[in-house]
Structure 1
Amino acid sequence: MSDPFVVVGADAAGLSAASKFRREAPDRDVVVFEKGRWISYAYCGMPYFIEGRVERMSNLLSLSPSDVDERGIDLRRGREVVAVDPDGKTVTVETTEGDTVEQAYGDLLVATGGRATTGPFDVEGVDGAFTLHDMDTAAAIDAYVAEPDAYDPGRADVSAVDRGRVERNAAMTAPETAAIVGGGYVGVEMAEALRGRGLDVHLFQRSSHLLPPFGEAVGERVADELDAKGVTVHAGTPVEELVGDDRIEGVAVGDGSGNRGDPLSVDLAIVGVGIRPNTELLEGTGVGLGEGGAIRTDEYGRTTLPDVYAAGDCATAIHAVTGEEAWMPLGLTANRAGRAVGSTVAGNRSPVGDIAGTAAVKAFDMEAGRVGLVEDKAAREAGFDPVRETVTAGSRSGYYPGASPTDVTLVADRDSGRVIGGSIVGPDRAAVRIDTLSTALEADMTVAEVERLDLAYAPPFSPVWDPVLVAAKVLNGTLDGD
């Protein structure tokens, strides 16, 4: 047909859109281009594969190419879209064989995701130095940390795996000491994973506490947990340089004041300092770009170009608290937005939904969650006057086995009393409690309204006053006293 729905990217947003579109518009073609061979995989599951909790790489796949074919989707792997002509409504596609072809579209979705940034650190061509943002790297790290005679190649049981890269890493002497650069999601999860594989792990964070988006209370308890499990945490300690030519030999660290100490000897380095959106294919089109260089979209995922949509880690969305555009690359955001775009293109307009940065992370036995505007700086920049309280409450009735301290930080706007953010940390089902605060934010609830929520109580699950209610009660008292 002359008006196919063309999708660029075959992961969360792209295949969600294509699948939804195919169900709702069976008479139109849908073509999905993917520059690599991997499709529809669980990026967030890679640290757990490396740790060994996930036994096989295939367990991380949501859809296989044959599954996609059965849905009536024309999936073309090994095809990179390198340019878009919004006037002619065509995309330029390069094949792995070096050929170039043009593909017409009626509607286009850019779902190209993001890629890991390395900052000043060059990991290319350095054995033992990695950034973790794709399945081939996860397979390579898994092979690298195993002793050559103990590596099980069956763990990387997917045909798309770069087998040569895996075999090369599997043949190397296993590392003993690892440096992780960056104390965000990937850094914390990889610290646990590598410790689980028996390595001596050092985690470096440039700022004063781990997991900056979660706030100081969470960062401190997570650091304590990592330390208790044998991970050496270096907060406020920037890594200045990776040392080594052909293979990683160490990391040179500073003290935050420009002074550099002796390098720490390591034989594995993981750089996790952030990601950036993949938007190069739209260069020269005049498309609007927003926060973080991501593609600016409206409530339906439409870009500033006609009949061109964007979703997932390459696109912005509207923040539920501020009402302004924001860029928060997270899994649910991508899946939900892709599904909505697919429905809209099929003729059933569906908003992609607001985002609040709701997230959770695990560090050994410690869980943490965050939502909204947790840090005062971000709240003030958004025009709020933040008031916060951090409380510690039991996760269950005190007499019931398993009760553990749970820290809840709740942030509200002083003038309106509206809840604008919060974080939770503790070892006993703390992370899932963040969903209560996420719902409160989406509903524009005040602290007083949260305090009156009728949350479930039974000794095995919660005390009479859930930790979220305790935090609301204390913060409400502070607001009343102002």
Structure 2
Amino acid sequence: MSDPFVVVGADAAGLSAASKFRREAPDRDVVVFEKGQWISYAYCGMPYFIEGRIERMSNLLSLSPSEVDERGIDLRRGHEVVSVDPDAKTVAVETTDGDTVEQAYDDLLVATGGRASVGPFDVRGLDGAFTLHDMDAAAAIDAYIAEPDEYDPDRADVSAVDRERVDRNAAMAAPETAAIVGGGYVGVEMAEALSGRGLDVHLFHRSGHVLSDFGEAVGERVEAELVERGVTVRTNAPVEDLTGDGRIEGIAFDGADGPETLPVDMAIVGVGIRPNTELLDGTGVETGAGGAIRTDEYGRTTLSDVYAAGDCATAIHAVTGEEAWMPLGLTANRAGRAIGATIAGDPSPVGEIAGTAVVKAFDMEAGRVGLVEDEAAREAGFDPVRETVTAGSRSGYYPGAAPTDVTLVADRDTGRLIGGSIAGPDRAAIRIDTLATALEADMTVPEVERLDLAYAPPFSPVWDPILVAAKVLNGTLDGD
């Protein structure tokens, strides 16, 4: 075989591309380099492993190295691609033994993902302070929370785990009070996870409501749920520093009455992620939104025969038609698969993105899609008009019915639906898929109001909450 397809990164986008390519082009080589030992794992499942809902770390693995090998993919773990020469069409690879080798490619996919952003906080060398962006961190956090004589090492039952790090954290006295810095996805999910492990949890968020990307209505519902479950939520409370000598001892933050310090013995920093693009430094590749690698509708970069996908790459926003960077799981898997098909000879668009996302906070579910905040809508050239309604999740007489908040955002001039969010405790999150489909189809609010959504008392009232919101918003648009 010849004409190698080289992939950098062995997670969602990388292995999706390699697997699809191998099926479509069995006569060509495919080589996947992964700098670490972990491959194809469920990043979004890590908070639930830490909470204890997932009993074994191996449950979070989608593919094992042996399964990748069975697919005919040349997987090389412990191999870090450090640079790319687009003129020579080679990559420089450093091995764990300290050697540097060159690998030629006919086509190259950069699927290097992202890394946790720590802002001004340096968690390195401070015991009890963590970011959560890989499986070794999840294993270490799980071990740190447990009492030394109660920790079950079989929970981290994967050979790739950093056993020395796990054992070190398992030997420390279990924490009692935890601070979470950042009220986004990771912060909210970890608040539930740590509360489930019996810790006194304090969540700090810089802005006025948690889950900023979901809008104020969702943030208020989620915050209320967190507080009711015993989490102390501090909004408009920027964290200035993590304090401690060797092991974390406190969180310094700006409180309502000035600087304060809260004593803690554990901290999770979840203030966002950054795309891993350094291996393309010096190549002249163009970057775009969020500093991610700029790609076209087929995942091609501005370098010949070089593609990018996943958390390190941009995509086209379904509402604005412009470049956007939204690192989410489906985006990575879908783009990787499409690129694998394209390189094998079947040109396949990676698809547009709308930022569709869901999150759970105890019994509260939340979803968002499109342009939820007015500022983002105006920056994209729209004149936003919004309505928020509260409607029942099922027929009122049927057990389990619960209030569901739906916010819809439309463009005043065209009536086009451009965004929405949902919050509620009874299957609210899955309803966001209806709005995502409507956005992808460029539907107007009147068209959404006329959707023939299913009705039966156990599942929905006659007027689904989305239809109620569309009806109210349509009335507002008609009155303008």
| Structure 1 length-normalised TM | 0.99
Q: What is the CA–CA distance in structure 1 between the aligned matches of 2:224 and 2:259, rounded to whole Å?
A: 24
Q: What is the CA–CA distance in structure 2 between the aligned matches of 1:428 and 1:238, rounded to whole Å?
A: 33
The answer to whether the Cα contact below 8 Å between 2:17 and 2:341 also exists between their aligned partners in 1 is yes
Q: What is the CA–CA distance in structure 2 between the aligned matches of 1:252 and 1:296, rounded to whole Å?
A: 38
Question: Residues 223-302 of structure 1 correspond to what in structure 2 (within 5 A)?
Answer: 223-255=223-255, 260-302=258-300
Q: What is the CA–CA distance in structure 2 between the aligned matches of 1:171 and 1:119, rounded to whole Å?
A: 29
Partner of 1:415: 413
Query: Which of 321, 324, 342 is equivalent to 2:322?
Result: 324
Partner of 1:14: 14
SS where residue 387 of structure 1 aligns?
A: strand
Query: Which of 427, 430, 434 is equivalent to 1:429?
Result: 427
Q: What is the CA–CA distance in structure 2 between the aligned matches of 1:128 and 1:108, rounded to whole Å?
A: 39
Aligned length: 480
Q: What is the CA–CA distance in structure 1 between the aligned matches of 2:240 and 2:31, rounded to whole Å?
A: 44
Specify the code of the residue in structure 2 equivalent to 1:387.
V
SS where residue 260 of structure 2 aligns?
A: coil
Q: What is the CA–CA distance in structure 1 between the aligned matches of 2:128 and 2:138, rounded to whole Å?
A: 12
Specify the code of the residue in structure 2 equivalent to 1:191.
A
Partner of 1:216: 216
1:201 aligns with 2:201: yes
Q: What is the CA–CA distance in structure 1 between the aligned matches of 2:445 and 2:236, rounded to whole Å?
A: 34
Specify the code of the residue in structure 1 equivalent to 2:184.
G
The answer to whether the Cα contact below 8 Å between 2:214 and 2:372 also exists between their aligned partners in 1 is yes
The answer to whether the Cα contact below 8 Å between 2:387 and 2:409 also exists between their aligned partners in 1 is yes
The answer to whether the Cα contact below 8 Å between 1:252 and 1:260 also exists between their aligned partners in 2 is no
SS where residue 268 of structure 2 aligns?
A: strand
Specify the code of the residue in structure 2 equivalent to 1:190.
M
The answer to whether the Cα contact below 8 Å between 2:254 and 2:260 also exists between their aligned partners in 1 is no
1:33 aligns with 2:7: no
SS where residue 261 of structure 1 aligns?
A: strand
Partner of 1:441: 439
Q: What is the CA–CA distance in structure 2 between the aligned matches of 1:286 and 1:119, rounded to whole Å?
A: 27
Partner of 1:306: 304
Instruction: Please give the per-residue CA displacement for 1:157-203, whole angstroms capped at 9, x wherever unaligned.
Output: 00000000000000000000000000000000000000000000000
Partner of 1:145: 145
Q: Give 1:121 deviation, angstroms.
A: 0.4
The answer to whether the Cα contact below 8 Å between 1:226 and 1:364 also exists between their aligned partners in 2 is yes
Q: Give 1:260 deviation, angstroms.
A: 4.0
1:377 aligns with 2:375: yes
The answer to whether the Cα contact below 8 Å between 2:51 and 2:196 also exists between their aligned partners in 1 is yes
Query: Which of 387, 398, 401 is equivalent to 1:403?
Result: 401
Q: What is the CA–CA distance in structure 2 between the aligned matches of 1:477 and 1:245, rounded to whole Å?
A: 60
The answer to whether the Cα contact below 8 Å between 1:2 and 1:105 also exists between their aligned partners in 2 is no
The answer to whether the Cα contact below 8 Å between 2:78 and 2:95 also exists between their aligned partners in 1 is yes
Q: What is the CA–CA distance in structure 2 between the aligned matches of 1:211 and 1:178, rounded to whole Å?
A: 19
Q: What is the CA–CA distance in structure 2 between the aligned matches of 1:95 and 1:365, rounded to whole Å?
A: 46
Instruction: Please give the per-residue CA displacement for 1:53-104, whole angstroms capped at 9, x wherever unaligned.
Output: 0000000000000000000000000000000000000000000110000000
Instruction: Please give the per-residue CA displacement for 1:21-65, whole angstroms capped at 9, x wherever unaligned.
Output: 000000000000000000000000000000000000000000000
Q: What is the CA–CA distance in structure 2 between the aligned matches of 1:156 and 1:167, rounded to whole Å?
A: 11
Partner of 1:392: 390
Q: What is the CA–CA distance in structure 2 between the aligned matches of 1:277 and 1:204, rounded to whole Å?
A: 24
CA-atom RMSD, angstroms? Answer: 0.7
The answer to whether the Cα contact below 8 Å between 2:288 and 2:323 also exists between their aligned partners in 1 is yes
Q: What is the CA–CA distance in structure 2 between the aligned matches of 1:158 and 1:80, rounded to whole Å?
A: 21
Q: Give 1:367 deviation, angstroms.
A: 0.1
1:112 aligns with 2:79: no
Q: Give 1:255 deviation, angstroms.
A: 3.4
Q: How high is the sequence identity, in percent, across the aligned residues?
A: 85
Instruction: Please give the per-residue CA displacement for 1:121-172, whole angstroms capped at 9, x wherever unaligned.
Output: 0100100000000000000000000000000000000000000000000000
SS where residue 33 of structure 2 aligns?
A: strand
1:338 aligns with 2:343: no
Instruction: Please give the per-residue CA displacement for 1:407-451, whole angstroms capped at 9, x wherever unaligned.
Output: 000000000000000000000000000000000000000000000
Specify the code of the residue in structure 2 equivalent to 1:417.
G
Q: What is the CA–CA distance in structure 1 between the aligned matches of 2:288 and 2:238, rounded to whole Å?
A: 29
Partner of 1:60: 60
Q: Give 1:14 deviation, angstroms.
A: 0.1
The answer to whether the Cα contact below 8 Å between 1:7 and 1:30 also exists between their aligned partners in 2 is yes
Specify the code of the residue in structure 1 equivalent to 2:213.
P
The answer to whether the Cα contact below 8 Å between 1:2 and 1:104 also exists between their aligned partners in 2 is no
Query: Which of 347, 353, 361 is equivalent to 1:355?
Result: 353
SS where residue 3 of structure 2 aligns?
A: coil
Q: Give 1:3 deviation, angstroms.
A: 1.6
Q: What is the CA–CA distance in structure 2 between the aligned matches of 1:216 and 1:402, rounded to whole Å?
A: 25
SS where residue 434 of structure 2 aligns?
A: helix
SS where residue 29 of structure 1 aligns?
A: strand
Q: Give 1:262 deviation, angstroms.
A: 2.8
The answer to whether the Cα contact below 8 Å between 2:366 and 2:421 also exists between their aligned partners in 1 is yes
Instruction: Please give the per-residue CA displacement for 1:214-256, whole angstroms capped at 9, x wherever unaligned.
Output: 0000000000000000000001111111011200000001037
Q: Give 1:2 deviation, angstroms.
A: 4.3
Partner of 1:69: 69
Specify the code of the residue in structure 1 equivalent to 2:128.
G
The answer to whether the Cα contact below 8 Å between 1:128 and 1:248 also exists between their aligned partners in 2 is yes
SS where residue 192 of structure 1 aligns?
A: helix
The answer to whether the Cα contact below 8 Å between 1:337 and 1:353 also exists between their aligned partners in 2 is yes
Specify the code of the residue in structure 2 equivalent to 1:134.
D
| Structure 2 length-normalised TM | 0.99
Q: What is the CA–CA distance in structure 2 between the aligned matches of 1:457 and 1:236, rounded to whole Å?
A: 41
Q: What is the CA–CA distance in structure 1 between the aligned matches of 2:375 and 2:418, rounded to whole Å?
A: 13
Q: Which runs of 4+ in 1 moved over 4 A?
A: none
User: What stretches of structure 1 of length at least 5 have no aligned partner?
Assistant: none
SS where residue 285 of structure 1 aligns?
A: coil
